[in-house]
Amino acid sequence: MAETITQAPETVNLTIDGKKVTVPKGTLLITAAFQAGADVPYFCHHPRLKPAGACRMCLVRIEKMAKLQTACTVPVSEGMVVDTLSPEVKQAQQGILEFLLINHPLDCPICDRGGECPLQNMTFQYGPGVTRFIDEKRHFPKPVPLNDYVSIDRERCIQCSRCTRFQAEIAGDGALAIESRGNSAVIAPFSLDGFQSHFSGNTVELCPVGALLSRPYRFQSRPWEFHSTDSVCSMCGVGCNIAVQTRTNQLMRVNSRLNEDVNEEWTCDTGKFEQYWVNSEERITTPMIRRASVLKPCSWDEALTAVAEAFSSAAKSSSNTVAGIGSTRTSNEEAYLFQRIFRTALGSNNIDHRMHDFPIRPMETSLAAIGEAKAIVAIGFDPKQYLPVVWLRIYKAISNGNATYAHVSSVDDPAVEAALAVGEGAILLTDDHIASADLDKLTKRAKSAGAKINVLLPDNNSWGAILMGVLPDRLPSLQPVGNGARPKFEALWGGPVPDKPGLATWDILKAGAAGDIRALYVLGSNPVASFPDRDLAASALEKIPFVVVQDLFLSESAQYANVFLPASSFIEKAGTFTNIEGRVQPFGAAIRPVGDSKPDWQILSELYARLGASAPFFGPADIAREIAHSADKNTFAGDRR
Amino acid sequence: MSLWDDIKALAEEVKAPLTGLSITDSYSRQPRVTIQYPDVRRPLSRRARWRHVLNRYENGLEKCIGCSLCAGACPANAIYVKAAENTAENRVSPGERYAEQYEINMIRCIFCGYCEEACPTQAIQLKDIYELADDERKDLIYTKEMMLTPAPEEE
Ligand code: SF4
Ligand code: SF4
Ligand code: SF4
Ligand code: SF4
């Protein structure tokens, strides 16, 4: 029975620079050469892009072949003998570099790529040192904006086609193309409307020269001047791993960081270019207290004492008159501390973070599994807009596995039926706006078909807020407040926890508008702008006698605040976020808190001390330790690297 | 001890200061090495390395292109450069980039001249300006305005 014999993966043996290597069949020669420890220079090759052979930098000598060959396009074959060091190869490398530099301006001192530029490095290592070209170089107008984020300096482009291949093969939009041929070849947007892509920033990182440039980062810093801190993107639920690069206590640039399970090596443009709000001049960085109906700057002590007094006196009369609305953007540690304060120091379960009711359902597959699906349907939302990096997985499935993909508005769309017919390997994606009835219906159908459903939540810590217990009826780890897990938390927190579910956001606002809430804590959220019924939110905040808003900016809700507490952004503190998959990812503090602002955890910890807690928390790690101790394994495991 | 001995001893006593005075006298005829600073100043070597200046081209544009290579070369980490983009309305240097802010902390500087060596446009030079003492640390952070040579029309 031939088909039951497990076949060993086919391998190929070859010799590179006298060293024998064995690699899987189909491997590109350049990859085999790296495995053999050979140093083959290249520009256009990229392991995630299809071979192009565009830059000719990786020429090597292969025995029995008449001419030098590009290692990045030749698959290995049995018995190949390869030389990467011969004088002939050296001469070719020098020739190629001299050729690439013929039209290159070499304005490294003012080039944003200078210092981390592959062309600089290759020229230094393999280049000829002098040029024989003495004529006038090719000239183009210096950087031309392609869209809001990226501009191009066409003089510096070496036509490696990494950018065009990325847009076509990974982003799937083909937004860039090579225009003209030969000496006049330039990179240009495919569309007349410019570089229309959610992923244009990746080409800036891929470009081996300073041709594609980040506009916000332009001339902000040299690569050796900033400090790079490992962080996690704060803009959506995917939780792309990023490097936050800072100088003079300000954000300079966001680059992506490798994580094969989450974002591979990509980010979307929102993550790369839309986090400069941390540098905003409009941030409020001193605490403020309302005096004679205007918010006036005050000391931290004054502000926190006022908050502590208002909340403890309201809670003393009835713990039902205090409430808290948390956020999907604060860290796990902060969300945890927030609910702990409400449940123990104020004895109230009136705590929530949701702006509308939605089904709480973990993803049934991992993010990476989406890239291997056979049929994908996005129901009711556009992944490209909503969670852009999820789209890259979807496109991977489309381009690699020939998966079908549809983006539909209703669960009854025939495309859903067609995907379910595929059975195993079908993945249905939906967001938190799906109606529970629809989801139940879908679940039944998916279960019988063997398909998977992923309900994707929008924000960087939507899952964290849920799993940390910022819910009126759930303790951390989704434990219902009424059930047997409560005594465990009571023991840990050293006090009773109310066993009746509290008010959800909408009930808090209704009670507020009816005059039943005396003190409201708005932590990092903005109900007046994001609650669907804005009038209700506004009239509630208007009516509630004491509102404290903790935020970075004077939001719509802060207009109603009695006390405003200035919080620090995510790059000014350490902590963890939980992404849509439930993966807990740590981020580090890149800069000091701006002005007098304080990280949310610190504000909460100082408030907790004023409310009579025995032991304050001195850092996010203290809180994380307690969470790890209290939560069940699945809530706070994941990537704690 | 005889009287003669006393006379000899006295003669020795008298001779000693006279010998000393004659040495003083011989030195007083030699050329002087001290100068009446600050009324008189010693000429410095052409290669003396003291405080930096930021040069201009003849047309008044600044030579500095804000590239930060000087800051990168500085072993004392004394230089801060913040670059910005030249525009048609506000052209400060040739090309695309200029230094919007340029500071050297003279307390940190060890006058090694590496910055001058790193500079691709010969914008920064260590000159013979050595009177740098001050009693205020803040004033020892030299700004671009303090180091820039005057523009032609300002002269
Ligand atoms: S792309 Fe590289 S080699 Fe070209 S000017 Fe910029 S830093 Fe220099
Ligand atoms: S713009 Fe950059 S990535 Fe694109 S072809 Fe030119 S050099 Fe390559
Ligand atoms: S002279 Fe030396 S120490 Fe002083 S600023 Fe220049 S490089 Fe730095
Ligand atoms: S002084 Fe020279 S090295 Fe320093 S930033 Fe200006 S141009 Fe660059």
Give the Cα separation of A78 and A51 in Å (integer): 20
- pLDDT tens-digit series, residues B61-96: 999 999 999 999 999 999 999 999 999 999 999 999
A222 to chain B: which residues are within 8 Å by CB?
A: 67-68, 72
- Kindly indicate the confidence band of residue A2, based on its pLDDT and cuts at 50, 70 and 90: very low
Q: How many helices (H) and strands (E) does chain A have?
A: 20, 28
Give the model's pLDDT for residue A353.
97
- Assess B68–A contact: CB distance below 8 Å, yes or no: yes
Give the model's pLDDT for residue B152.
81
Give the Cα separation of A296 and A510 in Å (integer): 29
Give the model's pLDDT for residue A641.
32
Give the model's pLDDT for residue A348.
96
Mean pLDDT to the nearest integer, B121-137: 94
- pLDDT tens-digit series, residues A388-426: 999 999 999 999 878 999 999 999 999 999 999 998 999
Domains A298-358+463-553+567-630 and A367-456 share a fold: yes
Nearest-atom index, ligand 3, CA of B73: 7
Residue linked to tokens 């000091």: A592
Checking if the pLDDT of A306 tops 90, the result is yes
Return the axis-axis angle of helices A300-317 and A600-610, rounded to nearest 10°: 60
State how far the alpha carbon of A119 is from the alpha carbons of A41, A55, A111, A185, B97, in Å: 10, 11, 12, 19, 21
The tokens describing A535, both together, are 């009038």
Phi, psi values for residue B69, rounded to 5°:
-65, -35
- pLDDT tens-digit series, residues A349-396: 999 999 999 999 999 999 999 999 999 999 999 999 999 999 999 999
Give the closest of B68, B85, B96 to A225, CB-based.
B68
Give the closest of B71, B72, B95 to A110, CB-based.
B95
DSSP B64-99: -----HHHHH-TT--EEEEEEE--SSS--SSSSEEE
State how far the alpha carbon of A443 is from the alpha carbons of A420, A448, A528, A571, A585, in Å: 11, 9, 34, 39, 29
Cβ–Cβ under 8 Å, residues A148 and A276: no
Give the Cα separation of A82 and A27 in Å (integer): 14
- pLDDT tens-digit series, residues A526-539: 999 999 999 999 99
Question: What is the count of residue pairs from A and B with beta carbons less than 8 Å apart?
Answer: 31
Would you call A224 and B120 a contact, using CB atoms and an 8 Å cutoff? Answer: no
Checking if the pLDDT of A442 tops 60, the result is yes
Which residues have a Cβ under 8 Å from the Cβ of A598 and sit 6 or more positions away? A300, A565, A566, A567, A568, A606
Checking if the pLDDT of A206 tops 60, the result is yes
Which residues have a Cβ under 8 Å from the Cβ of B33 and sit 6 or more positions away? none
For residue A4, count CB atoms less than 10 angstroms from its CB and return exposed for 0-12, middle for 13-18, buried for 19 or more: exposed
- pTM of the predicted model, to two decimals? 0.91
Checking if the pLDDT of A640 tops 90, the result is no
Amino acid at site A18: G
Mean pLDDT to the nearest integer, B116-123: 97
For residue A35, count CB atoms less than 10 angstroms from its CB and return exposed for 0-12, middle for 13-18, buried for 19 or more: middle
Give CATH for domain A367-456: 3.40.50
Q: Which residue of A has its CA nearest to B70?
A: A109
Q: Is the CB of B74 under 6 A from ligand 3?
A: yes
Cβ–Cβ under 8 Å, residues A150 and A164: no
The domain spans of chain A are: 11-100, 135-279, 298-358+463-553+567-630, 367-456
Checking if the pLDDT of A634 tops 90, the result is no
Number of residues assigned to chain B: 155
- Ligand 1-lining residues (CB < 6 angstroms): A 104-108, 111, 113-114, 117, 119-120, 156, 209-210
Cβ–Cβ under 8 Å, residues A263 and A238: yes
- Assess B69–A contact: CB distance below 8 Å, yes or no: yes
The tokens describing A467, both together, are 């799993």
Phi, psi values for residue A377, rounded to 5°:
-130, 130
Give the closest of A110, A220, A225 to B65, CB-based.
A110
Mean pLDDT to the nearest integer, A4-25: 86
Determine the distance separating the centroid of ligand 2 and the alpha carbon of A178, expressed in angstroms.
9
Nearest-atom index, ligand 4, CA of B66: 5
Domain A11-100 in CATH 1.10.10.10 = no
Q: Which of A77, A54, A129, A73 is nearest to A98 (CA)?
A: A129
Buried b (16+ CB within 10 A) or exposed e, B17-27: eeeeeeeeeee
Cβ–Cβ under 8 Å, residues A463 and A579: yes
Checking if the pLDDT of A599 tops 80, the result is yes
**Closest chain A C-alpha to B71 CA, distance in angstroms:** 9
- Assess B71–A contact: CB distance below 8 Å, yes or no: yes
Phi, psi values for residue B5, rounded to 5°:
-60, -40
**Closest chain A C-alpha to B149 CA, distance in angstroms:** 22
Largest CA distance in chain B: 104
Cβ–Cβ under 8 Å, residues A367 and A262: yes
Half-sphere exposure (Cβ direction) of A46: Cα atoms closer than 13 Å: 22
Give the Cα separation of A100 and A57 in Å (integer): 10
Give the Cα separation of A81 and A20 in Å (integer): 9
Would you call A110 and B71 a contact, using CB atoms and an 8 Å cutoff? Answer: no
- Kindly indicate the confidence band of residue A6, based on its pLDDT and cuts at 50, 70 and 90: low
Q: Which of B133, B110, B108 is nearest to B38 (CA)?
A: B133
* Range 177-236 of A in CB contact (< 8 A) with B: 218-220, 222, 224-225
Give the closest of A110, A222, A224 to B96, CB-based.
A110
The tokens describing A505, both together, are 């956001």
Q: Where are the alpha helices (DSSP H) in A46-189?
A: 87-102, 118-126, 162-165
* Range 57-76 of A in CB contact (< 8 A) with B: none
A115 to chain B: which residues are within 8 Å by CB?
A: 72
- Kindly indicate the confidence band of residue B111, based on its pLDDT and cuts at 50, 70 and 90: very high
Give the model's pLDDT for residue A220.
96
Give the model's pLDDT for residue A636.
67
- Assess B84–A contact: CB distance below 8 Å, yes or no: yes
Q: Which residue of B has its CA nearest to A107?
A: B95
Q: What percent of chain A has pLDDT over 70?
A: 97
Q: How many helices (H) and strands (E) does chain B have?
A: 4, 5
Minimum CA distance residue for ligand 1 atom 4 = A106
Q: What percent of chain A has pLDDT over 90?
A: 91
Q: Which of B53, B30, B33 is nearest to B42 (CA)?
A: B33
- Kindly indicate the confidence band of residue A485, based on its pLDDT and cuts at 50, 70 and 90: confident
ipTM of the complex: 0.86
Give the model's pLDDT for residue A427.
96
- Kindly indicate the confidence band of residue A9, based on its pLDDT and cuts at 50, 70 and 90: confident
Which residues have a Cβ under 8 Å from the Cβ of B87 and sit 6 or more positions away? none
Q: Which of B148, B80, B78, B69 is nearest to B116 (CA)?
A: B69
Give the DSSP letter of residue A274.
S
Q: Which residue of B has its CA nearest to A113?
A: B67
Sign of the C-alpha dihedral computed for residues A628, A633, A635 and A637 taken in this order: positive
B90 to chain A: which residues are within 8 Å by CB?
A: none
Give the model's pLDDT for residue A483.
83
Checking if the pLDDT of A633 tops 80, the result is no
Average pLDDT of chain A? 94
Cβ–Cβ under 8 Å, residues A474 and A480: yes
Mean pLDDT to the nearest integer, A156-160: 96
Give the model's pLDDT for residue A615.
72
Q: Which helix (H) or strand (E) holds A1?
A: none
- Kindly indicate the confidence band of residue B151, based on its pLDDT and cuts at 50, 70 and 90: confident
> Which class would CATH give A298-358+463-553+567-630?
alpha beta
State how far the alpha carbon of A256 is from the alpha carbons of A234, A263, A455, in Å: 13, 8, 25
- What's the distance, Cα to Cα, between the start and end of chain A in Å? 46
* Range 21-50 of B in CB contact (< 8 A) with A: none
A107 to chain B: which residues are within 8 Å by CB?
A: 95
Give the model's pLDDT for residue A638.
45
**Domains detected in chain B:** 52-154 (3.30.70.3270)
- Assess A249–B contact: CB distance below 8 Å, yes or no: no
Give the model's pLDDT for residue A635.
66
Mean pLDDT to the nearest integer, A490-510: 94
Give the Cα separation of B71 and A226 in Å (integer): 13
Q: Is the CB of B66 under 6 A from ligand 4?
A: yes
* Range 590-629 of A in CB contact (< 8 A) with B: none
- Assess A107–B contact: CB distance below 8 Å, yes or no: yes
Would you call A219 and B72 a contact, using CB atoms and an 8 Å cutoff? Answer: no
Q: Helix or strand or coil: residue A233? A: coil
> Which class would CATH give A135-279?
alpha beta
- Kindly indicate the confidence band of residue B2, based on its pLDDT and cuts at 50, 70 and 90: confident
Q: Helix or strand or coil: residue A83? A: strand
Cβ–Cβ under 8 Å, residues A262 and A255: no
Would you call A225 and B71 a contact, using CB atoms and an 8 Å cutoff? Answer: yes
- Assess B72–A contact: CB distance below 8 Å, yes or no: yes
Give the model's pLDDT for residue B32.
86
Which residues have a Cβ under 8 Å from the Cβ of A80 and sit 6 or more positions away? A12, A14, A15, A29, A62, A63
Would you call A142 and B120 a contact, using CB atoms and an 8 Å cutoff? Answer: no
